[in-house]
Each structure stands twice: as C-alpha cells, then as structure tokens.
Amino acid sequence: MADTWDCVVVGGGAAGLSAALVLGRARRRTLVVDDGDQSNSPASGIGGLLGHDGRPPAELYEMGRRELAAYPSVEVGTGTVFGGQRTDDEFVLELGGGHAVRTRRVLLAIGMQYRPPEVRGLAELWGRSVFHCPFCHGWEVRDQPLAVLGDGDRAVHQALLLRNWSDDIVVLTDGPAAFTDDDRARLGAAGVTIDERPVAELASENGELAAVVFGDGQRLPRRGLLVATTLHQRSSLADDLGAARGDATPLAADPIDVDAFMRTTAVGVFAAGDVSAAMPQVASAIAAGSLAATAVVQSLSAEDYGLVAPEWRSHVNA
C-alpha cells in the first residue's frame, strides 16, 4: 500500500469536492475516491446555487476537479470504496481490484440513494419534470399544472409548499387517502384538490411529463410531479467504520449521526452532504463539506502540533 494519507474523502460530489478544496488549501495530503454516481446526475441543472444557478451537475463537478488540480497535495481518483476498518490509529479502506489505502482520517461524502415509488414511466422523467425538491425544480415548472404523489402529513406539507409555484395542484394519493379533516380543510383552503384513484403510469412527451394515467385509463394532464421519496444509505462503509446512524426523518431513513463539526460517533470519521443532511441540497452539501474539512484539519493539527480542538463527543466509539 502507498503512504498514509491525511484524509481520504469518499465521494466526489458537492460535499466531497468542497471538502477536498479546503483540505488542499490547508496543504493536507488528501485522496478523493469518486465512483461518479452522484444522485443529482439526472437533473438538467442545479436550482438555487448562487453563482451556478441552472448549471448542469456534471459541469459543476468538473469545474471543482479542475480547481483541485491547483493543489499538489490533493489527488482525485475514480473508484469505489467497498469497505474499511480501523487499525491502531489509522484506517485501511478497501478499493476495487484488491487495492487498499491507509489514511488518518475519513470523510464520508458518498451521498444517498433516492427510492421513488415504482410507477411506470417515472424513472425516465426523474430529476426533471418528476422531482423531490420544489426549491430545486419548482421554478422550472412554475405556473404549470402540477401534482404531488403521496399521502398523509408529508403530502400535505409538500402540496402546500408547492403552492408557491403554481395555483393548479392535485394531490395523488394512489388509493384511499389518509388525510384528517384538518388536512382536507387546509388543502381546500389553499386551492389544492385530492385525487384518490390508483396511479398506473406517467405519460411523457419529448422527455417531459405530459399526463398522469390512472388505473381506469383516464388521464390527468400535468407538467410536473413532486414525489414524496425517502433517502437511503447507498453503502455500508459507515457501519464498517463504526459510525452510527441517526434518527430517521421524513426525508432520510438512516442518516449518519454527526455533531456540529460533522464528526460521526467514530473517532476520526467525518460525514458531510446528503449522508447526514436534514435537507438534501447542493448549497448545503458544499457548506457541510467545507465545515467538515476545517474540522479534519483541526483534529490533525491537534494530533500533530498540540492545537487545542473541541473534544470528540462523549458517546464516541473507542
């Protein structure tokens, strides 16, 4: 194996590249391992990112990699980290082809996996006219007939939030609704209607949503669909390294537990971006990656130079 890195950043999306930039500027030997499977890759553009509004995700990430090339202590590699373990005061991460790398710190920025409902035609539209975040995609479908696919409290929340972008919104419950009388009253007061028919298919034209097709064959013309989907971890690496999962949220089933410095419950392991986020957005991921990297630098400086740094949480794994 090669010499020990100061930090291996697992994931080359918004959080990972942001972290690597801060680490590079601090002259810490950093390896970014990226499998190129960012969850926002299907999106035509990133909405609401200052200075890059509407920029395609792949273009933003390529810009980030070019910036990192100016820092000789940072190396970006293509690959997947399949597993890892702690050995004494460092970590060994397992890559493909029997390769492994040693590192003093690990920063998990591998993102999360979206699992939208299995509706015929949805996958082809995902990330464009079928989406999970109105702040990211609402502007592009403004003033169009829209729908929310979901039920219960979350569907009410999303429908009322989506009301900012259109006054023509239908909640599709895909069967008998689980709404309370108060839910129905609030939706009605906002001009949102409810359709409880089973959804069979999403029909498209020119790569964009055209209509929702119900089980009885009838069609409801729609130009955008907000889907209530939950994020899930795409890797067991955090478990391998001893980093605990946090409490489930309406958006994430199993986020990695982190403190205010992006430190996990495993000493030396940090996490940033969607893996530990309450709100999956590119802007938030960039900020979290930057914060995590500064915490990594502080922890290394405490070890190397005696810097007084915040103590790791009391409930960490020894």
Q: For the chain, which residues make up each domain, given as ranges?
A: 5-114+230-305, 123-227
* DSSP classification of residue 175: S
If one counts every other C-beta atom within 10 angstroms of the C-beta of residue 10, the result is 28
**Selection from 266, 233, 240, 232 nearest residue 82 by Cα:** 240
Distance CA 61, CA 137 (A): 19
User: Are 202 and 208 contacting, i.e. CB atoms less than 8 angstroms apart?
Assistant: no
If one counts every other C-beta atom within 10 angstroms of the C-beta of residue 1, the result is 9
What is the fold, at CATH topology level, of the domain defined by 5-114+230-305? FAD/NAD(P)-binding domain (3.50.50)
What are 317's two structure tokens? Answer: 């794994």
Q: What is the CATH number of domain 123-227?
A: 3.50.50.60
Strand partners, 74: 30
* 318 residues of the chain, pLDDT tens digit each: 458 999 999 999 999 999 999 999 999 999 999 999 888 888 889 999 999 999 999 999 999 999 999 999 999 999 999 999 999 889 999 998 889 999 999 999 999 998 899 999 999 999 999 999 999 999 999 999 999 999 999 999 999 999 999 999 999 999 999 999 999 999 999 999 999 999 999 999 999 999 999 999 999 999 999 998 888 999 999 999 999 999 988 888 899 999 999 999 999 999 999 999 777 899 999 999 999 999 999 999 999 999 998 888 754 443
User: Are 225 and 130 contacting, i.e. CB atoms less than 8 angstroms apart?
Assistant: yes
User: Are 201 and 121 contacting, i.e. CB atoms less than 8 angstroms apart?
Assistant: yes
Label residue 2 exposed, middle or buried (CB < 10 Å: 0-12, 13-18, 19+). exposed
**Selection from 207, 212, 208 nearest residue 193 by Cα:** 212
Q: Check residue 310 and give its pLDDT.
A: 87
If one counts every other C-beta atom within 10 angstroms of the C-beta of residue 66, the result is 9
Q: Can you say whether the dihedral through the CA atoms of 41, 44, 48, 54 is positive or negative?
A: positive
The radius of gyration of the chain's CA atoms, rounded to the nearest angstrom, is: 22
